[in-house]
Amino acid sequence: MPEVRPGPWLRLIALGAAGAAALAVVSGALSLHTAHRALAALAVPPLAALVAAAWVAHRRLLGPSAAALASFLAAALVVGRPLHIAFAALALAAALVATAATLHGEPVAAAPWRDYVTLTKPRIMTLLLLTGACGLVVGAGGFPSAWLFIVTMAGLALACGGASALNHVIDRDIDRHMRRTDRRPVAADRVAPTRALEFGLALSALSFVLLASLVNVLTAVLALAGNLFYVFVYTRWLKRSTPQNIVIGGAAGAVPPLVGWAAATGNVTVPALLLFAIVFFWTPPHFWALALLIRRDYEAAGVPMLPVVRGERETTKQIVLYTVVLVAVTASPFLYGTLGLPYLVAALVLGAVFFVLALGLRREPTPRRAALLFHFSLLYLALLFAAMALDTAL
């Protein structure tokens, strides 16, 4: 059976890796120390993404791509200029071989561009970008420069989109058993899993390169950490193994405010962690309301969501308890002195509505009440973070 040719996204990764390696070698040979270290660091993400894609889908690329990454890391560790240059040159040669190898094989039909947009889960991304943007505004103490805002949001969008695309690949078996997800591009076989994998890895690597080079390294690391936590800890492990999946896995969705804060300040301090905590405690009642609506789908797919394992009564009880904690946590930025009275008023009013809806669902766990709470929870988080930004900017 003929080898399948890697898609354009993997070729883009390979070209980026080879180009970064070439720039690192040239800058090292010219003794451009600061530029050399920066360029060398930026070569690692695309090389790592190339190795991951080769391991999963294109084994013939594994040898040269792994050799390129290993040589590059060896160059960073060895002492002595001759050895350093030798390993860097070897890494460049291996990266070029891997890049050439991506051009061979039988082509696969391209999927519609709309399916690639769907892979990024744009509706979910919108809310993540909003919390990240508001974290940036609060961290900056007002609206930041347009350049910083645009670059940070672009890098965060790439990280979120990359993680979502990889989620489509891993969850394709589950998605096929659920009416809500059975028409997703990978589950419905409109996009080959290898193409979605390459797309997700390309976006993830590009996110790190963009944020590390144009914002700061901490911002890039936080975005990558959220990406990896969502893909490996939540999607690959927790979602399939425990009814507490969304409680722990919610940490991934709480990372964007940290990304925004780090972009503005270059650090992560207590106020940033309070923003993280708000999204973290918002996630369970938000998601469990949805899980109540599609409990039978999760049951058919074998996913141990709380309504499937513990039933409606326990789920609604947990929703109320987490809502109480959430409302208390939303007051913490005011108590710490980060935000002012206008924010506190907005947080308490929004929290009161959230709590009333949660109690209503507890008394009468109907689909209508679950849908009402789920849709309000989306509006709640958007308005809450908008109130943070307005309180800071005005």
32 shares its domain with 58: yes
What is the reported pLDDT for 189? 92
Domain boundary among 101, 123, 148: 101
Residue 306 burial (CB count, 10 A): 25
| Chain centroid to CA 6 | 24
- d(CA 393, CA 130) in angstroms, rounded, equals 15
CA dist., res. 258 & res. 272, Å (int): 6
Query: Are 82 and 192 part of one and the same domain?
Result: no
Q: Which of 286, 277, 284, 275 lies closest to 343 in space, CA to CA?
A: 275
Q: What is the DSSP letter of 72?
A: H
Q: How many CB atoms lie within 10 A of CB 255?
A: 28
Task: Tell me: do 96 and 222 sit in the same domain.
Answer: no
- Specify which residues 106 forms β-bridges with: 4
Whether residue 281 is contained in a domain is answered as: yes
Q: Look at residue 106 and give its three-state secondary structure.
A: strand
CA pair distance 103, 8, nearest whole angstrom: 9
Instruction: Give residue 7's pLDDT.
Output: 87
Sole residue written with tokens 């972009």: 263
Closest CA to 334 of 387, 383, 382: 387
Residues 160 and 304 in one domain: yes
CA-based nearest residue to 282, from 170, 389, 128: 128
- Cβ pair 210, 155 in contact under 8 A: yes
Give the angle subtended at the CA of 241 by the CAs of 369 and 231, to the nearest 5°.
85
Total tally of structural domains belonging to the chain: 2
Residue 127 lies in a domain: yes
CA distance 149 to 267: 17
Q: How far apart are CA 141 and CA 194, in angstroms?
A: 43
Residue 245 pLDDT more than 80? yes
Q: How confident is the model at residue 200 (pLDDT cuts 50, 70, 90)?
A: very high
Q: Do residues 28 and 76 share a domain?
A: yes
Same domain, 88 and 126: no
Residue 3 lies in a domain: no
Q: Is residue 2 part of a domain?
A: no
Question: Model's pTM, two decimal places?
Answer: 0.93
Q: Is the pLDDT of residue 369 over 50?
A: yes
CB 7 within 8 A of CB 194: yes
End of a domain among 70, 101, 132?
A: 101
pLDDT of residue 1: 46
Nearest alpha-carbon partner for 215 in 266, 282, 256, 279: 266
Instruction: Tell me, rounded to whole angstroms, the distance of Cα 212 from its chain centroid.
Output: 16
Instruction: Output the CA torsion 392→121→146→331 (10° steps).
Output: 10
Q: Do 33 and 69 lie in a common domain? A: yes
Is residue 90 assigned to a domain? yes
Q: In this structure, are 158 and 215 located in the same domain? A: yes
Query: Do 334 and 367 fall within a single domain?
Result: yes
Decide if 107 is inside a domain: no
**Chain centre distance of CA 338:** 26
Q: Which of 7, 9, 14, 116 is nearest to 62 (CA)?
A: 14
- Residue type for 325, please? V
The predicted-structure confidence for 138-176, as pLDDT tens digits, reads as follows 999 999 999 999 999 999 999 999 999 999 999 999 999
Domain assignment of residue 210, given as a range: 113-393
Question: How many CB atoms within 10 Å of residue 48?
Answer: 20
**Is 16 inside any structural domain?**
yes
pLDDT grade, residue 108 (50/70/90)?
A: confident
User: Looking at the structure, do residues 155 and 267 belong to the same domain, yes or no?
Assistant: yes
CATH number, residue 385? 1.10.600
Q: Within this chain, do residues 315 and 277 fall inside the same structural domain, yes or no?
A: yes
Pairwise CA distance, residues 319 & 289, whole Å: 8
Q: Looking at the domain assignment, is residue 1 inside a domain? A: no
Last residue of a domain, one of 79, 101, 123: 101
For the cut 50, the answer to whether the pLDDT of residue 294 exceeds it is yes
Is the CB of residue 191 less than 8 Å from the CB of residue 119?
yes
**What is the C-alpha R_g of the chain?**
23
Report the alpha-carbon distance of residue 224 to residue 245 in Å, rounded: 20
pLDDT digits (tens, 9 = 90+) for 335-346: 999 999 999 999
pLDDT digits (tens, 9 = 90+) for 317-327: 999 999 999 99
| Residue 23: predicted pLDDT | 86
Same-domain pairing of 140 and 282 = yes
When mean pLDDT is compared across 82-96, 194-208, 280-294, the lowest value belongs to 82-96
Please report which confidence band the pLDDT of residue 262 belongs to, taking 50, 70 and 90 as the band edges. Answer: very high
